[in-house]
Structure formats: C-alpha cells, structure tokens
A and B are shown apart, each in its own frame.
Chain A
Amino acid sequence: MGAQKRMTPGVFVVLAILGIAFVALPLAGLIQRTPWSRAADVLTSESSLTALRLSIVVATSAAVLSLVLGFPLAWGLSRSSFPGRTVVRGLVILPLVMPPVVGGVALLSVFGRRGFLGAALYDAFGVQLTFTTPAAVLAAAFVSLPLAVLALEAGLRSLDPRLEDAAATLGGSRWYVLRRVTLPLLTPQIAAGLVLCWARALGEFGATITFAGNLQGRTQTLPLAVFERLQTDPDGAIALSLLLVAVSLAVIVGLRGRFLAAR
C-alpha cells in the first residue's frame, strides 16, 4: 500500500507548468534583453563596481549583525518559556512581512536626526546616522534579522539536549558546552542563516533608500544602482540586474543541500 504510486491530477500538472513559466519567463526575458555587447562595459564601470563593493560590505555586515543579535533571541525563544514569548516571536518576525519602505520610516523615527535615539546621538556627539553606510547596514539588518532567528531557532529545537547534558555532566562549563558542543552541532543552521540573511540584505531596497538615501560609494547598493539606472538607461539596468540574479543563483546553489534536496 505504501509503495502504491499516487496519480498526479492533470489539473495540477497544468498549474505546475504555469507556475514554472511564471518564474522562468521573467528571468528569460531579462536574459533575452541583456545587451551582451554592452554588458561588460556596464558591469565593469566605476559606478557598478562601487555599488557591488558596497553591497558586499553592507550585506556581510548586516548578516553578521543579524546572527549576533539573532542567536540569543533564538536561544530564548526555543529554550526558555517566559510570558509573552509568542508576542516576542511575532515582533521579531514582523520585518519579514512588513513593507520595507515602512521599515525605513520606522528606522527614521528612531535613528533619524529627529528620532528619539537619533536626536540624542546628534545632540551629544554631533553624529547623524542617516545617509551613512552604517545606516544602510541597519536597514539591511532590520529586514534580515527574522531569517537568522527562524533558522537558528529551528536548529536549536532539533538539537538533541542529551548531548549538551552529557557534556555538562562530564564537567563542562556552560561556555565550554556552548563553544564545543552546541555551536558545532548548529554549524549547518548558522551557515544557512548567514547565507539567507546575506541574500536578503543584498536585495534590500525600500528601507535603504528611505532611511539611508542614495549616494554612490556610501549608500548606493546594487539594487539602488539598478533603480537609478532604470530611469535613464534600461539596458544598463538589465545588465546590472543580471549580476544580482547571478549572485542569488549562487546562493541557492550554495544552499542546495537544504532547499534542492528531495526529502
């Protein structure tokens, strides 16, 4: 009975093909419209390389920040029960479903020059976060933190607690157990969280342009560069877009063990 092969309904086949086309056609359109003769010039232009470099710095910093803040959060959410845990989890995941431009406005209201933390920072030290690279990192971390928490929490829950218990029984201190048992066991989830956060941060647009602005070399990441170029040079914008698609593809291939494996 268990070996009996299930029939796939015909209507599913049709819808599935439509689903594939829905994703594949826009990508094919992008490739078809790429001005290959100009692509090399566009991709190696000073502005593109500057945007690429900045994007890598911003996405990497945001992914690391998300992991550093996300690990203790995931730990608390998976291993302790405290009142309002559901609320905290909902709150942490909110940026994932929130429109990014709203995230940008929210960040302005806290870290902007007139925001309640930003104003204090400005009055005390004359420091303004808006329009700086750290602002772009904050915007990217804001939207990628939920992915870190989700990946790490799932990992912590699936961990066999007896392994940690055994290590503790044998005299390992809490830090020793964390460093030598918990973290090594979590390596796949940490790697997955890092890559997911990095990819999400790389694509960040709405919160960045709202909170950090758009300046070459400082806050103009690749998606902002694509958007600016689209106003005057759509072909060049398409060539740049292809670069982002290629990077995203590399991420999926890198994660193939998690997403592409049939279970």
Chain B
Amino acid sequence: MRRALAGLACLALFVPACGGSVSERSEITVLAAASLTAAFTKIGVNFERATPDVTVRFSFGPSDGLATQILEGAPADVFAPASPKYMDQVRSDGPGVTEQVDFARNTLAVIVPSGNPAHIESVDDLARPGVKLVLAAVGVPAGDYAREILGNAGIQKEALANVVSNEEDVKGVVQKVLLGEADAGIVYRTDITPDISAKVREIAIPDGVNVIATYPIAVIDGSSHTPAATAFIRYVAGPGQTTLRSFGFLPPS
C-alpha cells in the first residue's frame, strides 16, 4: 500500500524523473523452502532496495508441496527447495529450470522446549520410550533428513515409535516444540532464530550422525520475468551470502 502510494506520488510529482521504471516494473514470485523464511525475507528487502524496478513476492512452504505446485502449473519464477531432489523433480517432470546454482548448506539439530520436560541430553535419548517427538512429514526435506539422522544414530525404529505428529513443514515442528507440547523435534540449525533461541534449547547432533542439506536455486522455465528472476538468483549467490551467513547457513561447497 505504502509502495503504491509512493508510486502514485512519484507519478504525480516527478514523472520525468521516474522515467520508464514504473511501467517496466516486474514482480517475481519466489517459491522457497520454509527453512528459508527469515533469511529470504531479509534478502528480498535488500534486493528490492538494490534493484528498485523489481518486486519480490515469496511463497514459503514444504519443498515437496512447492514442487507439486510448480508441476501443477502454479505461476512462479524462482524455486529454492531445501533439497536438490525437488529441483530434479521440476527439471524432469515439470517445466524445467535454468541458471541452477547451489547457494547454501544447512545442518540439523534437536530442539527441546525450555525446561526440557523429557530430559533429552543427546540424540540417543530420542529413543527412550515415552518421549513425545515431532518431525516434519515424510517427503518434506526436513522430515527425510531427520529420519536419515535417526538411522545414522541407529535408533530409527525406537525413535519413530515416539513420533506423535508429522508436521506439514519444518516450521510446524518448531511451533509444536515452542508451545511446549512436544518433548523434542528435529529442525534445521537455522530454525533456531534469535526470536526463539531463549525459548528452546539446542541439543547438538554429532557430525558423524548429522546430515548436510544443500539448497539449490534456479529460474523456472516459462517464467515471464527471466531477467529479473536471474538477477535475484545472482543476488542470493552474491551479496545475499552475508545475510545467509548471519542466519546461520553454511556456504555452498
């Protein structure tokens, strides 16, 4: 609204100064993994400041759900899932992608609510009977990574028997732990944002057990704003890296 008003004021007062930028303004839609919500929102603001003729609209959600939306023909320009698996799916079964680049990596952590009601001190404790464990659903990258970690730790069967809810995306897991309903959840380390770090406790997952999530980004074929979409990807891979680092993401390998 404020932007629209500013645009109107701009039109009314400084038509010559605005030049053609108002009419050439393009709006791109970025479908991004839920775990990117905070970092990409910030990057979007910075990108719009640096590139005034492009507006970015984000739709954050589970990567598998976003890939399905693209396959179903949802109009989108950029895709940034939390796993290369879903980029491959869009490339092979969907419209295809270009300009693909890996831009970040992430690892996972166990979080417990403040007070740690189930006394979880290590990944192995997730196998203890009666622990109320919440994971992202199967198919959601965070859910698949979590199951892989439980397998690496050799406690998959016992821990999966403790699962009380399969959440739609990783933010659902954060929410259930934050509310104190779940005893533990497995999320990305970057999900432990400054907003919630006082309300949850992180239980580190040892390197040998943890997995590394790689985040690719690409322009979706058929985008009607390919130049703007490409500009956004270059920004994420370039100046946006500082922001990603500040939110705890690891640099791409």
CA distance A112 to B179 in the complex (A): 8
Known A-B contacts A108-B181, A228-B166; the reply to A213 vs B176 at CB < 8 A is yes
Q: Does B65 reach chain A (CB closer than 8 Å)?
A: yes
Proximity string of chain A (39-51) to chain B, C-beta cutoff 8 Å, 1 when within and 0 when not: 0000000000000
Q: Is the CB of B168 within 8 A of A112?
A: no
Residues of A within 8 A of B180 (CB): 112-114
Q: How far is the CB of A243 from chain B (nearest CB, A)?
A: 20
Interface stretch of the complex, out of A59-67, A140-148, A183-191, A229-237? A229-237
A231 and B137 contact, Cβ closer than 8 Å, known pairs A114-B179, A128-B132, A130-B181? yes
CB distance from A213 to the nearest CB of B (A): 3
Interface range on chain A (Cβ under 8 Å from partner):
20 to 34
The 0/1 profile, CB within 8 Å of B marked 1, for residues 203-239 of chain A is 0000001000111101110000001101110100000
| Chain B contact residues, majority secondary structure | loop
A231 pairs with B132, CB closer than 8 A: no
| Residue in chain B with minimal CB distance to A211 | B181
B167 proximal to A (CB < 8 A) = yes
Cβ–Cβ < 8 Å partners of A71 in chain B: none
Q: Does B244 contact A (CB under 8 A)?
A: no
Of all chain A residues, the one with the shortest Cβ separation from B164 is: A131
In the complex, the chain A residue whose C-beta lies closest to that of B132 is: A131
Expressed in whole angstroms, the minimum distance between the Cβ of A132 and any Cβ of chain B is 8
Interface code B45-82, partner A: CB below 8 Å = 1, 0 otherwise?
A: 00000000000000000101100100010000000000
B165 touches A213 (CB 8 A): yes
**Separation of A168 and B167 alpha carbons in the complex (Å):** 57
Please, how many angstroms separate the alpha-carbon atoms of A48 and B166 in the complex? 16
Closest chain-A Cβ to B245's Cβ sits at a distance in Å of 30
**Are A228 and B137 in touch, CB under 8 angstroms?**
yes
A227 touches B168 (CB 8 A): yes
A186 to chain B, nearest CB (A): 40
**In angstroms, how far is the closest chain A Cβ from the Cβ of B117?**
8
The answer, yes or no, to whether B231 is at the interface (CB within 8 Å) is no
Chain B residues with CB under 8 Å of A209's CB are 168
**Does B134 reach chain A (CB closer than 8 Å)?**
yes
Question: Are A215 and B164 neighbours in the complex by a CB distance under 8 Å?
Answer: yes
CB distance from B205 to the nearest CB of A (A): 23
Which of A113, A213, A214, A234 has the largest count of B CB atoms less than 10 A from its CB? A213
Name A209's closest neighbour in chain B (CB-CB): B168
In the complex, the answer to whether A231 meets B140 with C-beta atoms within 8 Å is yes
For the complex, what is the distance from the CA of A131 to the CA of B166, rounded to whole Å? Answer: 10
Does B252 sit within 8 A of A, measured CB to CB? no
* B163 at the binding interface (Cβ < 8 Å): yes
B158 to chain A, nearest CB (A): 16
Tell me whether B139 is interfacial, beta carbon within 8 Å: yes
Convert B125-163 into 0s and 1s, putting 1 for each residue whose CB lies closer than 8 angstroms to a CB of A: 000000010100101100000000000000000000001
Interface residues of B (CB under 8 A from A): 62, 64-65, 68, 72, 117, 132, 134, 137, 139-140, 163-168, 176, 179-182
> Could you name 19 residue pairs across A and B whose Cβ atoms are closer than 8 Å?
A112-B180, A113-B117, A114-B180, A131-B164, A131-B182, A213-B134, A213-B167, A213-B176, A213-B181, A214-B166, A214-B168, A215-B163, A215-B166, A219-B165, A220-B166, A227-B168, A231-B168, A232-B68, A232-B139
